[in-house]
Amino acid sequence: MKLEGKVAIVTGSSKGIGLGIARVFSQEGAKVVVVCRTEAAGRKVAEELGADEGRALFIQTDLTKAEAIRHMIDTTLDTFGQLDVVVNNAGYHISKNVEVTTEEEWDFIINTNLRSTFLCSKYAIPHLRKTKGNIINISSMVGKVGQPNAGAYSATKGGQIAMSKGMAIDFAPDGIRVNVICPGWIETPLVEDWFGQQEDPEAARKYIYGQHPLGRIGTIEECGKAALFLACESDSAFVTGIALDIDGAVTLGY
């Protein structure tokens, strides 16, 4: 198994892409720290991944708070003794252009998406230095191409990409790799809710699928396997500073 003996923190792992990553990591032998704000959902995932056998741990965390993040990392180390991989996946989306976005909404999305990535990375790096570990930041295709009525969200996702490239340079001498995954349309509860809110959900689904050269959208398992590639030293030891598109080529004609 590719991650046997490794310990990974995956934020926002109670559902969607984070859940897909947590499952794949667990299947490949990693001990997984499930991080989210909702206790019931987080504990359910940790139980699925083997909390009773000591293979998973749930830590309820407000990722906008430095103190909470330090507690998350300290608890991980107290429980498992090391830290090898951090996946910064937790995020929030707001569908507004910049003119109508309030200052409070701007601050919230910056704190949730970008500041949390900074804080988790900052406080994990001293421990990743010991294990020659790596950081995987989950951005979005809109971090590269933008998105209508989502200026603040696009800013956070573009910021994650730029910050990750800077960190990849800064911490390469320490043996720490930093990479980004940029998902496109993925089968998540959020996307399914969006389809359901359309006037004709099936027509909307058909249209979105048709925008993809591969004729479909992605799965959370495919995102998990992409993260596995980046997390696995034997597969990607010479890979750092990249932003990997998992989008079925939709951005080529976005």
125: enclosing H helix or E strand: helix 116-131
* 134-138 and 177-183 beta bridge pairing: parallel
Instruction: Give helix 151-171 / helix 116-131 axis angle, nearest 10°.
Output: 20
β strands within the chain, DSSP E: 7-11, 31-36, 56-60, 85-88, 134-138, 177-183, 243-246
SS3 215: coil
Residue whose pair of structure tokens reads 């987080």 in the numeric block: 42
CB 94 within 8 A of CB 109: yes
Q: How far is CA 238 from the centre of its chain?
A: 21
Burial class (CB in 10 A: 0-12, 13-18, 19+), 193: exposed
Structure tokens at 87: 């996946």
Q: Quote the Cα angle for 24-45-198, to 5°.
A: 85
- Catalytic positions, please? 153
